[in-house]
Structure 1
Protein backbone atom coordinates (compact mmCIF):
# COMPACT_ATOMS: atom_id res chain seq x y z
CA UNK A 1 0.00 0.00 0.00
CA UNK A 2 1.28 3.44 -0.95
CA UNK A 3 0.60 6.24 1.53
CA UNK A 4 1.52 9.81 0.59
CA UNK A 5 1.96 12.71 3.01
CA UNK A 6 1.35 15.96 1.14
CA UNK A 7 4.30 18.33 1.42
CA UNK A 8 3.25 21.97 1.47
CA UNK A 9 5.50 23.72 3.98
CA UNK A 10 2.85 23.77 6.72
CA UNK A 11 4.67 22.88 9.90
CA UNK A 12 6.55 19.85 11.06
CA UNK A 13 5.38 16.54 9.58
CA UNK A 14 7.98 14.52 11.47
CA UNK A 15 5.47 13.43 14.13
CA UNK A 16 3.17 12.08 11.37
CA UNK A 17 6.08 10.10 9.96
CA UNK A 18 6.92 8.69 13.41
CA UNK A 19 3.29 7.65 13.90
CA UNK A 20 3.26 5.83 10.55
CA UNK A 21 6.60 4.22 11.42
CA UNK A 22 5.07 2.87 14.64
CA UNK A 23 2.26 1.34 12.58
CA UNK A 24 4.72 -0.21 10.13
CA UNK A 25 3.28 1.80 7.24
CA UNK A 26 5.44 2.86 4.31
CA UNK A 27 4.97 6.43 3.09
CA UNK A 28 6.30 9.16 0.82
CA UNK A 29 6.45 12.90 1.57
CA UNK A 30 5.82 14.74 -1.71
CA UNK A 31 4.07 17.59 -3.52
CA UNK A 32 4.26 15.78 -6.88
CA UNK A 33 0.84 15.47 -8.54
CA UNK A 34 1.47 12.07 -10.14
CA UNK A 35 2.72 10.58 -6.86
CA UNK A 36 -0.28 11.96 -4.97
CA UNK A 37 -2.79 10.72 -7.57
CA UNK A 38 -1.27 7.21 -7.57
CA UNK A 39 -1.35 6.83 -3.76
CA UNK A 40 -3.71 4.42 -2.02
CA UNK A 41 -4.06 6.81 0.94
CA UNK A 42 -3.28 10.53 1.25
CA UNK A 43 -2.52 12.36 4.50
CA UNK A 44 -2.79 16.16 4.49
CA UNK A 45 -1.34 17.36 7.81
CA UNK A 46 -0.66 20.91 8.86
CA UNK A 47 0.65 23.21 11.54
CA UNK A 48 0.77 26.93 10.89
CA UNK A 49 -1.27 29.74 9.39
CA UNK A 50 -4.09 29.30 6.89
CA UNK A 51 -3.37 32.02 4.30
CA UNK A 52 0.33 31.15 3.96
CA UNK A 53 -0.49 27.46 3.60
CA UNK A 54 -3.19 28.14 0.98
CA UNK A 55 -0.78 30.37 -0.98
CA UNK A 56 1.69 27.48 -1.20
CA UNK A 57 -1.05 25.05 -2.26
CA UNK A 58 -2.12 27.45 -5.03
CA UNK A 59 1.48 27.95 -6.16
CA UNK A 60 1.85 24.17 -6.59
CA UNK A 61 -1.66 23.60 -7.98
CA UNK A 62 -2.48 21.41 -5.00
CA UNK A 63 -5.59 23.47 -4.17
CA UNK A 64 -7.11 22.17 -7.43
CA UNK A 65 -5.70 18.65 -7.12
CA UNK A 66 -6.74 17.72 -3.58
CA UNK A 67 -10.53 18.16 -4.02
CA UNK A 68 -10.45 15.86 -7.08
CA UNK A 69 -8.77 12.92 -5.31
CA UNK A 70 -10.77 9.66 -5.21
CA UNK A 71 -8.78 7.66 -2.65
CA UNK A 72 -9.20 8.15 1.14
CA UNK A 73 -7.75 11.53 2.20
CA UNK A 74 -7.15 12.51 5.84
CA UNK A 75 -6.59 16.17 6.75
CA UNK A 76 -5.43 17.07 10.26
CA UNK A 77 -5.28 20.37 12.16
CA UNK A 78 -4.63 23.16 9.62
CA UNK A 79 -5.06 20.49 6.93
CA UNK A 80 -8.65 20.02 8.09
CA UNK A 81 -9.28 23.77 8.17
CA UNK A 82 -7.98 24.21 4.61
CA UNK A 83 -10.46 21.53 3.47
CA UNK A 84 -13.30 23.80 4.65
CA UNK A 85 -14.87 26.70 2.74
CA UNK A 86 -13.35 29.70 4.52
CA UNK A 87 -11.17 30.50 7.53
CA UNK A 88 -11.38 33.67 9.59
CA UNK A 89 -7.60 33.42 9.94
CA UNK A 90 -6.49 36.27 7.65
CA UNK A 91 -9.83 36.00 5.79
CA UNK A 92 -8.68 32.95 3.83
CA UNK A 93 -10.65 31.26 1.05
CA UNK A 94 -9.97 27.55 1.40
CA UNK A 95 -10.67 24.49 -0.78
CA UNK A 96 -14.37 24.05 0.04
CA UNK A 97 -14.40 20.25 0.28
CA UNK A 98 -16.49 20.71 3.43
CA UNK A 99 -19.06 23.49 2.94
CA UNK A 100 -18.42 25.03 6.33
CA UNK A 101 -16.54 27.96 7.85
CA UNK A 102 -13.67 27.96 10.35
CA UNK A 103 -14.04 30.61 13.05
CA UNK A 104 -11.73 31.94 15.76
CA UNK A 105 -12.59 31.07 19.34
CA UNK A 106 -13.86 34.24 21.03
CA UNK A 107 -12.22 35.51 24.20
CA UNK A 108 -14.11 34.21 27.19
CA UNK A 109 -13.22 34.10 30.90
CA UNK A 110 -11.75 30.75 31.91
CA UNK A 111 -10.75 29.76 28.36
CA UNK A 112 -7.30 30.33 26.89
CA UNK A 113 -6.85 30.72 23.16
CA UNK A 114 -5.19 28.83 21.54
CA UNK A 115 -6.98 25.73 22.77
CA UNK A 116 -3.96 23.61 23.74
CA UNK A 117 -3.89 20.21 25.38
CA UNK A 118 -6.03 17.12 25.89
CA UNK A 119 -9.79 17.31 25.51
CA UNK A 120 -12.56 14.77 25.01
CA UNK A 121 -14.57 14.16 21.84
CA UNK A 122 -18.14 12.87 21.71
CA UNK A 123 -21.00 12.07 19.32
CA UNK A 124 -18.65 9.76 17.45
CA UNK A 125 -19.64 8.28 14.08
CA UNK A 126 -18.01 7.08 10.88
CA UNK A 127 -15.31 4.49 10.17
CA UNK A 128 -12.37 6.42 11.68
CA UNK A 129 -13.95 6.36 15.15
CA UNK A 130 -14.60 2.60 15.11
CA UNK A 131 -13.42 1.05 18.37
CA UNK A 132 -13.12 4.37 20.21
CA UNK A 133 -14.96 5.02 23.46
CA UNK A 134 -17.33 7.97 23.68
CA UNK A 135 -15.50 10.89 25.34
CA UNK A 136 -12.06 9.65 24.21
CA UNK A 137 -9.24 12.14 24.80
CA UNK A 138 -7.13 13.62 21.98
CA UNK A 139 -4.54 16.41 21.74
CA UNK A 140 -5.42 19.84 20.31
CA UNK A 141 -3.41 22.97 19.45
CA UNK A 142 -5.56 25.55 17.61
CA UNK A 143 -7.21 28.96 17.81
CA UNK A 144 -9.82 28.32 15.09
CA UNK A 145 -12.52 25.67 14.83
CA UNK A 146 -15.02 24.51 12.22
CA UNK A 147 -18.69 24.74 13.08
CA UNK A 148 -20.70 21.60 13.81
CA UNK A 149 -22.56 20.47 10.68
CA UNK A 150 -24.12 17.45 8.96
CA UNK A 151 -20.64 16.16 8.08
CA UNK A 152 -19.37 16.28 11.69
CA UNK A 153 -18.29 12.83 12.96
CA UNK A 154 -16.97 13.95 16.36
CA UNK A 155 -17.66 17.02 18.49
CA UNK A 156 -15.46 18.79 21.04
CA UNK A 157 -16.56 21.47 23.50
CA UNK A 158 -14.26 24.46 24.05
CA UNK A 159 -15.78 27.94 24.34
CA UNK A 160 -18.39 26.55 21.90
CA UNK A 161 -19.07 23.14 20.33
CA UNK A 162 -16.93 22.62 17.23
CA UNK A 163 -16.19 19.83 14.75
CA UNK A 164 -13.37 17.67 16.06
CA UNK A 165 -13.76 15.38 13.02
CA UNK A 166 -15.47 15.63 9.63
CA UNK A 167 -16.24 13.21 6.80
CA UNK A 168 -17.63 13.68 3.32
CA UNK A 169 -17.33 10.84 0.79
CA UNK A 170 -13.61 9.86 0.68
CA UNK A 171 -12.50 12.93 2.65
CA UNK A 172 -11.83 12.63 6.37
CA UNK A 173 -10.55 15.28 8.73
CA UNK A 174 -9.50 15.74 12.35
CA UNK A 175 -8.89 19.07 14.09
CA UNK A 176 -6.65 17.41 16.67
CA UNK A 177 -3.23 15.87 16.17
CA UNK A 178 -3.99 12.17 15.77
CA UNK A 179 -0.27 11.42 15.46
CA UNK A 180 0.39 12.57 19.05
CA UNK A 181 -2.93 11.53 20.61
CA UNK A 182 -1.71 8.27 22.15
CA UNK A 183 -3.67 5.05 21.67
CA UNK A 184 -6.78 6.92 20.50
CA UNK A 185 -4.87 8.69 17.74
CA UNK A 186 -3.13 5.47 16.77
CA UNK A 187 -6.50 3.73 16.42
CA UNK A 188 -7.78 6.55 14.20
CA UNK A 189 -4.73 6.25 11.94
CA UNK A 190 -5.08 2.45 11.87
CA UNK A 191 -8.75 2.81 10.89
CA UNK A 192 -7.78 5.26 8.14
CA UNK A 193 -5.10 2.95 6.72
CA UNK A 194 -7.66 0.08 6.62
CA UNK A 195 -10.13 2.04 4.49
CA UNK A 196 -10.71 0.73 0.98
Structure 2
Protein backbone atom coordinates (compact mmCIF):
# COMPACT_ATOMS: atom_id res chain seq x y z
CA UNK A 1 0.00 0.00 0.00
CA UNK A 2 1.36 3.42 -0.92
CA UNK A 3 2.06 6.00 1.80
CA UNK A 4 0.87 9.59 1.39
CA UNK A 5 2.58 12.13 3.66
CA UNK A 6 0.25 14.98 4.57
CA UNK A 7 2.61 17.63 5.89
CA UNK A 8 1.80 18.84 9.41
CA UNK A 9 3.33 22.26 10.06
CA UNK A 10 0.40 23.88 11.86
CA UNK A 11 -1.75 24.72 8.83
CA UNK A 12 -5.38 25.48 9.60
CA UNK A 13 -6.83 23.22 6.91
CA UNK A 14 -4.83 20.13 7.93
CA UNK A 15 -7.68 18.12 9.45
CA UNK A 16 -10.17 18.84 6.68
CA UNK A 17 -7.51 17.89 4.13
CA UNK A 18 -6.79 14.69 6.05
CA UNK A 19 -10.47 13.75 6.17
CA UNK A 20 -10.90 14.39 2.44
CA UNK A 21 -7.77 12.42 1.52
CA UNK A 22 -8.89 9.44 3.61
CA UNK A 23 -12.28 9.50 1.92
CA UNK A 24 -10.70 9.79 -1.54
CA UNK A 25 -8.26 6.96 -0.76
CA UNK A 26 -11.06 4.64 0.40
CA UNK A 27 -8.55 2.46 2.23
CA UNK A 28 -6.27 1.98 -0.80
CA UNK A 29 -3.60 4.44 0.45
CA UNK A 30 -2.15 5.05 3.89
CA UNK A 31 -2.56 8.74 4.80
CA UNK A 32 0.09 9.77 7.33
CA UNK A 33 -0.10 13.19 8.98
CA UNK A 34 3.50 14.00 9.79
CA UNK A 35 6.39 16.43 10.04
CA UNK A 36 8.92 13.60 10.57
CA UNK A 37 11.65 14.05 7.94
CA UNK A 38 12.33 10.32 7.70
CA UNK A 39 8.68 9.51 6.98
CA UNK A 40 8.40 12.36 4.48
CA UNK A 41 11.58 11.36 2.63
CA UNK A 42 10.30 7.78 2.28
CA UNK A 43 6.71 8.66 1.30
CA UNK A 44 5.28 7.67 -2.07
CA UNK A 45 3.33 10.93 -2.40
CA UNK A 46 3.30 14.25 -0.58
CA UNK A 47 0.49 16.74 0.04
CA UNK A 48 1.22 20.22 1.44
CA UNK A 49 -1.88 22.05 2.72
CA UNK A 50 -1.97 25.70 3.71
CA UNK A 51 -4.14 28.61 4.72
CA UNK A 52 -3.30 32.14 5.83
CA UNK A 53 -0.29 34.28 4.97
CA UNK A 54 2.69 33.16 2.86
CA UNK A 55 5.17 34.47 5.45
CA UNK A 56 3.54 32.63 8.36
CA UNK A 57 3.29 29.36 6.44
CA UNK A 58 6.84 29.47 5.09
CA UNK A 59 8.18 30.34 8.54
CA UNK A 60 6.29 27.47 10.15
CA UNK A 61 7.52 25.04 7.50
CA UNK A 62 11.12 26.23 7.95
CA UNK A 63 10.93 25.82 11.72
CA UNK A 64 10.34 22.05 11.45
CA UNK A 65 13.92 20.67 11.50
CA UNK A 66 14.85 18.83 8.32
CA UNK A 67 11.34 18.98 6.87
CA UNK A 68 12.04 21.08 3.76
CA UNK A 69 15.16 19.01 3.07
CA UNK A 70 13.11 15.78 3.33
CA UNK A 71 10.40 17.16 1.04
CA UNK A 72 13.06 18.22 -1.45
CA UNK A 73 14.67 14.78 -1.38
CA UNK A 74 11.35 13.01 -1.97
CA UNK A 75 9.98 15.37 -4.60
CA UNK A 76 12.99 16.79 -6.42
CA UNK A 77 15.48 13.92 -6.10
CA UNK A 78 13.16 10.88 -6.11
CA UNK A 79 10.37 12.31 -8.29
CA UNK A 80 7.52 11.57 -5.87
CA UNK A 81 4.18 13.14 -6.88
CA UNK A 82 3.45 16.35 -4.96
CA UNK A 83 0.26 18.37 -4.51
CA UNK A 84 0.15 21.80 -2.87
CA UNK A 85 -3.21 23.16 -1.73
CA UNK A 86 -3.97 26.91 -1.48
CA UNK A 87 -0.96 28.44 0.33
CA UNK A 88 0.67 25.03 -0.06
CA UNK A 89 0.62 25.76 -3.80
CA UNK A 90 1.87 29.31 -3.29
CA UNK A 91 4.91 28.08 -1.35
CA UNK A 92 6.14 26.47 -4.58
CA UNK A 93 7.01 29.97 -5.82
CA UNK A 94 10.39 31.68 -5.79
CA UNK A 95 9.06 34.35 -3.45
CA UNK A 96 5.93 35.68 -1.78
CA UNK A 97 5.24 39.42 -1.75
CA UNK A 98 2.89 39.50 1.25
CA UNK A 99 4.13 41.43 4.33
CA UNK A 100 7.38 42.11 2.52
CA UNK A 101 9.38 39.60 0.48
CA UNK A 102 9.67 35.99 1.65
CA UNK A 103 11.66 33.27 -0.06
CA UNK A 104 9.59 30.26 -1.13
CA UNK A 105 10.58 26.71 -2.07
CA UNK A 106 11.37 27.88 -5.63
CA UNK A 107 10.24 24.58 -7.17
CA UNK A 108 8.30 26.50 -9.82
CA UNK A 109 9.72 29.93 -10.63
CA UNK A 110 7.44 32.89 -10.02
CA UNK A 111 5.94 35.31 -7.50
CA UNK A 112 2.94 35.28 -5.20
CA UNK A 113 1.31 38.70 -5.22
CA UNK A 114 -1.98 40.36 -4.37
CA UNK A 115 -4.90 39.92 -6.74
CA UNK A 116 -5.82 43.17 -8.46
CA UNK A 117 -9.44 43.28 -9.64
CA UNK A 118 -10.04 45.16 -12.89
CA UNK A 119 -13.71 45.55 -11.98
CA UNK A 120 -14.46 47.70 -8.90
CA UNK A 121 -17.67 45.72 -8.39
CA UNK A 122 -15.63 42.53 -7.90
CA UNK A 123 -14.33 42.37 -4.35
CA UNK A 124 -11.14 40.87 -3.02
CA UNK A 125 -10.66 38.39 -1.34
CA UNK A 126 -11.79 35.91 -3.96
CA UNK A 127 -14.15 33.80 -1.87
CA UNK A 128 -16.68 31.18 -2.90
CA UNK A 129 -17.38 28.89 -5.85
CA UNK A 130 -15.88 29.52 -9.27
CA UNK A 131 -15.23 27.52 -12.43
CA UNK A 132 -11.81 27.06 -13.99
CA UNK A 133 -10.71 28.41 -17.36
CA UNK A 134 -8.54 26.38 -19.73
CA UNK A 135 -7.94 23.47 -17.35
CA UNK A 136 -5.16 21.32 -18.80
CA UNK A 137 -2.02 19.53 -17.68
CA UNK A 138 -2.36 16.41 -15.51
CA UNK A 139 -5.68 14.54 -15.69
CA UNK A 140 -6.41 15.37 -12.05
CA UNK A 141 -6.72 19.03 -13.10
CA UNK A 142 -7.80 18.72 -16.75
CA UNK A 143 -10.74 16.47 -15.83
CA UNK A 144 -12.27 19.10 -13.52
CA UNK A 145 -13.83 20.67 -16.60
CA UNK A 146 -16.66 23.07 -15.74
CA UNK A 147 -17.24 21.79 -12.21
CA UNK A 148 -16.98 24.73 -9.78
CA UNK A 149 -14.32 24.63 -7.04
CA UNK A 150 -14.16 26.51 -3.74
CA UNK A 151 -11.72 29.43 -3.39
CA UNK A 152 -10.78 31.71 -0.51
CA UNK A 153 -7.69 33.89 -1.00
CA UNK A 154 -6.38 37.41 -1.67
CA UNK A 155 -3.03 36.47 -3.22
CA UNK A 156 -2.24 34.35 -6.28
CA UNK A 157 0.81 32.56 -7.66
CA UNK A 158 2.00 33.92 -11.02
CA UNK A 159 4.61 31.55 -12.54
CA UNK A 160 7.38 33.04 -14.66
CA UNK A 161 6.56 30.53 -17.40
CA UNK A 162 2.87 30.43 -18.35
CA UNK A 163 3.40 26.84 -19.49
CA UNK A 164 3.44 26.00 -15.78
CA UNK A 165 -0.16 27.24 -15.41
CA UNK A 166 -2.55 24.27 -15.55
CA UNK A 167 -5.76 26.29 -15.11
CA UNK A 168 -6.93 29.87 -14.73
CA UNK A 169 -9.85 31.44 -12.91
CA UNK A 170 -11.63 34.73 -13.57
CA UNK A 171 -12.49 37.06 -10.69
CA UNK A 172 -12.23 40.63 -11.89
CA UNK A 173 -9.52 39.40 -14.27
CA UNK A 174 -7.79 36.08 -14.85
CA UNK A 175 -5.10 34.63 -12.60
CA UNK A 176 -3.69 31.10 -12.13
CA UNK A 177 -5.89 28.58 -10.31
CA UNK A 178 -3.56 25.58 -10.72
CA UNK A 179 0.07 24.92 -11.64
CA UNK A 180 1.96 21.83 -12.78
CA UNK A 181 5.53 21.05 -13.74
CA UNK A 182 6.69 17.44 -13.94
CA UNK A 183 5.76 15.65 -10.72
CA UNK A 184 4.87 18.91 -8.93
CA UNK A 185 1.34 20.31 -8.98
CA UNK A 186 -0.65 22.81 -6.96
CA UNK A 187 -4.19 24.13 -6.77
CA UNK A 188 -5.24 27.52 -5.42
CA UNK A 189 -8.73 26.27 -4.56
CA UNK A 190 -9.62 23.88 -1.73
CA UNK A 191 -10.45 20.37 -2.97
CA UNK A 192 -11.32 19.39 0.60
CA UNK A 193 -14.13 21.99 0.52
CA UNK A 194 -15.18 21.37 -3.09
CA UNK A 195 -17.49 18.42 -2.44
CA UNK A 196 -17.55 15.58 -4.99
CA UNK A 197 -15.42 17.43 -7.57
CA UNK A 198 -12.70 18.02 -4.99
CA UNK A 199 -12.74 14.42 -3.78
CA UNK A 200 -12.47 13.25 -7.38
CA UNK A 201 -9.40 15.45 -7.89
CA UNK A 202 -7.75 14.00 -4.77
CA UNK A 203 -8.56 10.48 -5.93
CA UNK A 204 -6.92 11.22 -9.27
CA UNK A 205 -3.86 12.61 -7.46
CA UNK A 206 -3.55 9.34 -5.56
CA UNK A 207 -3.34 7.53 -8.91
CA UNK A 208 -1.24 10.13 -10.76
CA UNK A 209 1.83 8.78 -12.56
CA UNK A 210 3.77 11.86 -13.75
Asked if TM exceeds 0.5, the reply is yes
Match of 2:148? 137
Match of 1:5? 6
Secondary structure of the 1:111 match is coil
Matched, 1:146 2:157: yes
Secondary structure of the 2:148 match is strand
Q: Deviations over 1:120-155 (max 9, x none)?
A: 10211122124332x321000100012262101111
State the TM-score, normalizing by the size of structure 2.
Answer: 0.86
Q: Which moved more, 1:17-26 or 1:61-70?
A: 61-70
Matched, 1:195 2:196: no
Task: Report 1:26-37 matches (<5 A).
Answer: 26-37=30-41
The Cα shift of 1:53 comes to: 1.4
- Counterpart CA distance in 1 for 2:202 and 2:88 is 15
Q: Deviations over 1:71-103 (max 9, x none)?
A: 001000000011111111112211111101111
Structure 2: gaps of 5 or more residues: none
- Counterpart CA distance in 1 for 2:191 and 2:55 is 23
Task: Report 1:117-136 matches (<5 A).
Answer: 117-127=128-138, 128-133=140-145, 135-136=146-147
Secondary structure of the 1:28 match is strand
Secondary structure of the 2:63 match is helix
Matched, 1:82 2:86: no
State the TM-score, normalizing by the size of structure 1.
Answer: 0.92
Matched, 1:174 2:190: no
4+ residue runs over 6 A deviation: none
- Counterpart CA distance in 1 for 2:18 and 2:103 is 28
- Paired residues, what number? 195
Secondary structure of the 1:84 match is coil
- Counterpart CA distance in 1 for 2:208 and 2:13 is 25
Aligned with 2:68 (options 63, 69, 89): 63
